Amino acid sequence: MKKLPIGIQSFKEIRTENYYYVDKTHFVERLVGVGKYFFLSRPRRFGKSLFLDTLKEAFSGNRELFKGLYLYDNWDWDRKYPVIKISFGSGVINNADKLIKIINSYLDKISRDYDISLTEDIISLKFKELIENLAAKYDEKVVVLVDEYDKPILDRIDDIEVAKENREILKDFESVLKDADPYLKIVFLTGVSRFSKVSIFSGLNQLNDITLDERFATICGYTQSDLESVFADRIKDFDRKEVKEWYNGYSWLGEKVYNPFDILLLFDKKSFRPYWFETGTPTFLIKLLLDNKFYLPKLESLRASDEILSNLDVGFIRPENILFQTGYLTIKGTVSSGFKTKYVLSYPNLEVKMSLNNFFLIDVLSTLDIKEDTETVLEEALRVGDIEKLKKSLVSFFSSISHDWYRKNDLEEYEGFYASVVYALFNGAGLYTIAEDVTNRGKIDVTIIHNGKVYIIEFKVVDEDAENKALKQIKEKRYFEKYENRYSDIYLIGIEFSKKNRNIVSFEWENVET
């Protein structure tokens, strides 16, 4: 049995040390066939660095590493190109001086490796000098690969001034590539974020963004076919439906893929856990959602235009933009809106849906135990249809939120907050939850289906006293009719929250037996 390449980004190591490898080399040929300047955005730990290293080995002419792969018989191995490969992926780049030192270090090392002398001190001029000297020495055009180009910005995204300083350094550095065109064979940049072309890429507007290009949809990640073929001896030990529910679902207008990091650790640990989610703490993202008073259930089905998805800039970050680019949302479909196409975004899979909602709750609470205990009680109550137990659990939960937390966030006026918390609790408990469930008479706020039972829930927020309108709305609009022919046990629940009391002031319910 081959070894699992967990965390390994070296193509050479994978190919020479008996690791599994999913053949992505046909994309190398495809890139050269369609252009010269490319940019690819994918979430962290998705295989971007490994693909860049694959490019490096191909253009360096190391044919034997590709034996048995597509490119072995479909590449001109007689031509070798000098390669400049720079990565900003390791460490935290927390100021401009450190960023300049890192760039200088890369340029100096590459010049030593190729025995090239450099005389310039300014990093942009030194970069230009390195490209021209390499092209002259080897009489070949130069390949430039930049990995995680945006990390110096994202590392300090919560400090606008530092982020802007790092952005300007990168902008000046990468603008060299435009005038260096006669000396370049191919340029490939990767990152998590698609920053606006008027900001960091203003000097490199010839970049072809292949992030949402169907031809390159599976350039990173594992397809279902990959699991069934390359990992056939591993996947046989698992329920394929469960694997797909937990980890599949990422889409960039093409075939859905798995995050490789999740799959490799699943095969290694042999248990289902949020492996990818645990490698990053989206504290900034949760703060962004709260600051924008974002209605969390909308994450089930969120519409966004291409302008929103492709234009991230320091100081102007929209929740849907950063959620998509960082991998917490993915494309579930498209809809036409006049002459424009809008993308329908949602969670890619159970791992992200459950984990993101849990992380949201952790920010709200003073102790993790409260969340865990509440989720356990919720699941138990809904499994047997004990609505009074459900009510007591929710009231107790909201009572446990510190008064200081409300004062800090001023969220008692945020009507969607209460529904967002309950929605997050249901998802964190691993319950099958449908937000804004569509019927022919309107949308149900939240529907939960658990253990053969359906729970239709409507939320209202009142200033102080109960108005008893939530349950009335469910009955008047007959939301339950959607499920009458499929389920025999349907519960209608109307919940009203008081802005003043910051808790539930009305909890009415009825059981509809069909």
Spatial distance between the Cα atoms of 245 and 65, rounded to a whole number of angstroms: 35
DSSP state of 19: B
User: Which range among 61-70, 209-218, 296-305 shows the weakest confidence by mean pLDDT?
Assistant: 296-305
CATH number, domain of 370, equals 3.40.1350
Spatial distance between the Cα atoms of 143 and 52, rounded to a whole number of angstroms: 11
Residues 6+ apart with CB under 8 A from 131: 84, 142, 144, 176, 180, 183, 184
Asked if the structure places residue 341 within a domain, the reply is: yes
For 300-361, the DSSP string reads GSEEEEHHHHH-BBTTB--HHHHHHHTTSSEEEEEEEETTEEEEEEE-SSHHHHHHHHHHHH
User: Which range among 43-52, 361-370, 422-431 shows the weakest confidence by mean pLDDT?
Assistant: 361-370
Average pLDDT over residues 358-383: 86
**Residue 239 CB-half CA count within 13 A:** 6
Positive or negative torsion for Cα 59, 60, 63, 65: negative
Asked if the structure places residue 3 within a domain, the reply is: no
Q: What is the pLDDT of residue 92?
A: 81
Spatial distance between the Cα atoms of 7 and 136, rounded to a whole number of angstroms: 36
Residues 6+ apart with CB under 8 A from 224: 244, 248, 256, 258
Asked if the structure places residue 188 within a domain, the reply is: yes
Q: What is the pLDDT of residue 285?
A: 84
β-bridge pairing 503-513 and 489-498: antiparallel
Asked if the structure places residue 5 within a domain, the reply is: no
Q: Decide: helix, strand or coil at residue 195.
A: strand
Q: Please, are residues 11 and 145 in contact by the beta-carbon 8 Å criterion?
A: no
Shared domain check, 230 and 336: yes
Shared domain check, 337 and 382: no
Compute CA distances 161 → 156, 158, 287, whole Å: 9, 9, 18
Residues 6+ apart with CB under 8 A from 200: 149, 150, 153, 167, 170, 171, 174
Asked if the structure places residue 283 within a domain, the reply is: yes
CA-wise closest residue to 298 among 445, 404, 175, 167: 445
Q: What is the pLDDT of residue 411?
A: 55
β-bridge pairing 340-346 and 432-439: unpaired
For 225-277, write each residue's pLDDT tens digit.
999 999 999 999 999 999 999 999 999 999 999 999 999 999 999 999 999 99
pLDDT higher than 80, residue 200: no
For 312-356, write each residue's pLDDT tens digit.
666 667 888 889 988 999 999 998 877 788 899 999 999 999 999
Q: Please, are residues 495 and 509 in contact by the beta-carbon 8 Å criterion?
A: no
At position 366, the amino acid (one-letter code) is: S
For 79-89, write each residue's pLDDT tens digit.
999 999 999 98
Q: What is the pLDDT of residue 479?
A: 95
DSSP E strands in 194-271: the ranges are 208-209
Shared domain check, 155 and 236: no
> CA 249, 254, 256 angle in degrees (round to 5)?
20
Query: Which residue, 165, 192, 216, sits at the end of a domain?
Result: 216
Positive or negative torsion for Cα 20, 23, 24, 29: positive
Asked if the structure places residue 415 within a domain, the reply is: yes
CA-wise closest residue to 144 among 112, 171, 183, 118: 183
Q: Which residues of 234-257 are buried (b: 16+ CB within 10 A; e: fewer)?
A: bbeebeeeebbebbbbbbbebebb
The answer to whether the predicted template modeling score (pTM) of the entire model surpasses 0.85 is yes
Asked if the structure places residue 250 within a domain, the reply is: yes
CATH number, domain of 33, equals 3.40.50
Shared domain check, 229 and 212: no
Which residue in the block uniquely carries the two structure tokens 């159970």?
A: 350
Asked if the structure places residue 57 within a domain, the reply is: yes
Shared domain check, 211 and 267: no
Average pLDDT over residues 146-168: 87
DSSP E strands in 114-239: the ranges are 142-147, 184-191, 208-209
Could you tell me which residue, 395 or 160, shows the higher pLDDT?
395
Query: What is the total count of domains within the chain?
Result: 3
Positive or negative torsion for Cα 251, 252, 258, 261: negative
Shared domain check, 195 and 180: yes
Q: What is the pLDDT of residue 55?
A: 98
At position 239, the amino acid (one-letter code) is: D
CA-wise closest residue to 231 among 278, 271, 265, 256: 265
| End-to-end CA gap in the chain | 54
Q: What is the pLDDT of residue 498?
A: 87
Shared domain check, 248 and 383: no
Average pLDDT over residues 485-509: 91
CA-wise closest residue to 77 among 54, 53, 60: 60
For 389-410, write each residue's pLDDT tens digit.
999 999 998 888 766 555 555 5
Q: Which two tokens stand for residue 338?
A: 């006049």
For 437-484, write each residue's pLDDT tens digit.
999 989 999 999 999 999 999 999 888 888 899 999 999 999 999 999
Average pLDDT over residues 411-425: 77
Q: Model confidence at 203, in pLDDT bands (50, 70, 90)? A: low
Shared domain check, 323 and 461: no
Q: Which two tokens stand for residue 105?
A: 């270090």
Residues forming beta bridges with residue 144, ordered by sequence position: 84, 187
For 45-66, write each residue's pLDDT tens digit.
999 999 999 999 999 999 999 9
Shared domain check, 249 and 187: no
* Alpha helix positions (H), 400-469: 403-409, 415-428
Residues forming beta bridges with residue 342, ordered by sequence position: 305, 335
Shared domain check, 207 and 331: no
Shared domain check, 181 and 234: no
Residue 260 has phi, psi (to 5 degrees) of: -60, -35
Spatial distance between the Cα atoms of 344 and 314, rounded to a whole number of angstroms: 24
Q: Model confidence at 198, in pLDDT bands (50, 70, 90)? A: very low
Range of the domain at 423: 365-513
Shared domain check, 161 and 15: yes
Query: Which residue, 346, 362, 378, sits at the end of a domain?
Result: 362
Query: Which residue, 327, 362, 397, sits at the end of a domain?
Result: 362
Per-chain mean pLDDT for the chain: 90
To 10 degrees, the CA torsion angle through 269, 272, 277, 283? -120
Q: What is the pLDDT of residue 406?
A: 59
